[in-house]
């Protein structure tokens, strides 16, 4: 079986809700990432076998196969096919897994995996609540209720369940949130993100002309450069009686990201040096009620399958959907916190849902290159109680 190699990885800087990327149509934003991957590798775009993009809120401007629309808006020829997938917050990580499986099998040689989400233009949950509001039903079926009677499927409840299960304190949660911003500030000021970020024009939703010259968006807009423990601790709690505030949760974010994945034939065709080899891919289902604990058993199984220990992993990226998720992961696995999200996470940098998986992998591969680490592990919790795990080896 062939190997799967990452030869290019890029992301936009995150945009805050109604912020500096809110004027971008998500199709066109994703097309910018596709173009950048072609430019970075010098590939003849006609050689691309497929484009696989993750997107969670597939409605409106992100409906009707946003991946194919992005190809049609890009410099790629119309002969390049594309498909869109939804594995909730792990959608583009799953896109990466599907791309890896394709090139490892030899059925395809050069595939782009990525994701896009404009949470400004297509609000979170729109595909669910809009049809329900207009009388078109709900995804929770009678069959589901047979197995989970009276259950509430809520990420907010799940985040607080993790707080209780792992006995996490409010002060520690707030300190974790502050550390996310502090690490992101350092990474930004030291230029650690410069190579991974694709500068795109600033376009806000109220721009009267999208053709006028504009400054470039280069810095993640969600970073609070003035954050303090005191300011974070005073943010209103998400749930009454809980311990998690909006300051300790991922930021709503607009963004796109992408990775080019190839096998040995693809490497030969491109004539480029790979950045990393995909060492392991897996996905696991878990309890859909607590919902967000999946990265823990999924990581354990990934380590068991590979024969690696967590000590042999140099860097971890565990998505900060809520602070309680990576905090519980650290505790359950007795992991080294100094290796976790070393450039900050979604609390500071944002969580553009369908784009987050390849966004995190872009940062992880870049961080491995900078620190000269060998192995990196990425785990993302997902709606419905699932988690993807990817282990990469720097080359």
Other CB atoms within 10 A of residue 391 CB: 23
Q: Which sign does the torsion angle of CA 60, 82, 3, 196 carry?
A: negative
The neighbouring-strand residues paired with 318 are 379
Q: Which of 217, 279, 343, 351 is catalytic?
A: 351
Check 89, 181, 217, 343 and give the catalytic one: 89
According to DSSP, residue 14 is labeled P
DSSP code for 130: H
Tokens of residue 322, six digits: 């809520």
Secondary structure of residue 90 in the 3-state scheme: coil
Residue 257: count of CB within 10 angstroms of its CB: 34
Is 89 marked active-site?
yes
Q: What are phi and psi of 289, to 5 degrees?
A: -85, -55
Q: How far is CA 87 from CA 272, 279, 319, in A?
A: 31, 21, 14
Residues contacting 369, CB < 8 A, separation 6+: 275, 394
- Catalytic, 253? Answer no
- DSSP state at residue 47: G
Burial of residue 306, with CB atoms counted within 10 A of its CB: 0-12 exposed, 13-18 middle, 19 or more buried = middle
Distances (CA, A) of 74 to 28, 100, 145: 8, 23, 44
> Which position among 181, 279, 343, 381 bears the catalytic label?
381
Listed residue (348, 337, 153) closest to 248, CA to CA: 348
Question: DSSP character for 236?
Answer: P
DSSP 201-255: E---TT-S-SSS---EE-S-TT--TT--HHHHHTSPBSSTT-S-BGGGBPPPEEE
Active-site annotation, residues: 89, 351, 381
């Amino acid at each position: 079986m062939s190997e799967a190699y990452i030869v290019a990885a890029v992301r936009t800087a995150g945009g805050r809700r109604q912020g500096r990327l809110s004027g971008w149509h998500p199709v066109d934003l994703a097309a910018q990432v596709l173009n950048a991957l072609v430019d970075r590798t010098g590939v003849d775009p006609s050689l691309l076998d497929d484009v696989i993009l993750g997107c969670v809120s597939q409605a409106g401007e992100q409906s009707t196969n946003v991946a194919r629309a992005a190809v049609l808006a890009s410099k790629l020829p119309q002969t390049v096919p594309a498909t869109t997938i939804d594995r909730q917050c792990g959608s583009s990580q799953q896109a990466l897994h599907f791309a890896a499986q394709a090139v490892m099998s030899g059925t395809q040689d050069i595939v782009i995996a990525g994701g896009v989400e404009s949470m400004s233009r297509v609000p979170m949950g729109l595909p669910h609540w809009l049809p329900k509001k207009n009388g078109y039903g709900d995804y929770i079926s009678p069959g589901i209720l047979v197995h989970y009677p009276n259950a509430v499927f809520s990420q907010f409840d799940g985040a607080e369940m993790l707080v209780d299960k792992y006995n996490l304190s409010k002060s520690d949660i707030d300190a974790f949130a502050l550390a996310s911003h502090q690490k992101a500030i350092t990474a930004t000021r030291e230029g650690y993100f410069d190579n991974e970020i694709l500068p795109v024009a600033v376009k806000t939703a109220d721009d009267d002309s999208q053709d006028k010259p504009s400054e470039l968006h280069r810095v993640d807009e969600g970073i609070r450069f003035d954050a303090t423990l005191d300011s974070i601790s005073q943010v209103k709690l998400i749930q009454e009686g809980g311990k998690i505030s909006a300051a300790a949760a991922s930021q709503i974010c607009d963004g796109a990201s992408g990775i080019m994945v190839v096998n040995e034939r693809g490497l030969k065709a491109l004539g480029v040096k790979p950045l990393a080899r995909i060492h392991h891919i897996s996905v696991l289902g878990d309890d859909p009620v607590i919902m967000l604990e999946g990265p823990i058993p999924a990581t354990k199984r990934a380590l068991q399958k590979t024969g690696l220990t967590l000590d042999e992993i140099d860097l971890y990226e565990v998505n900060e959907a809520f602070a309680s998720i990576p905090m519980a992961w650290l505790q359950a696995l007795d992991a080294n916190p100094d290796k976790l999200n070393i450039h900050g996470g979604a609390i500071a940098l944002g969580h553009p849902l369908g784009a987050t998986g390849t966004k995190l992998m872009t940062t992880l591969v870049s961080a491995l290159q900078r620190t000269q680490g060998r192995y990196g592990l990425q785990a993302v919790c997902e709606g419905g109680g699932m988690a993807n795990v990817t282990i990469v080896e720097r080359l």
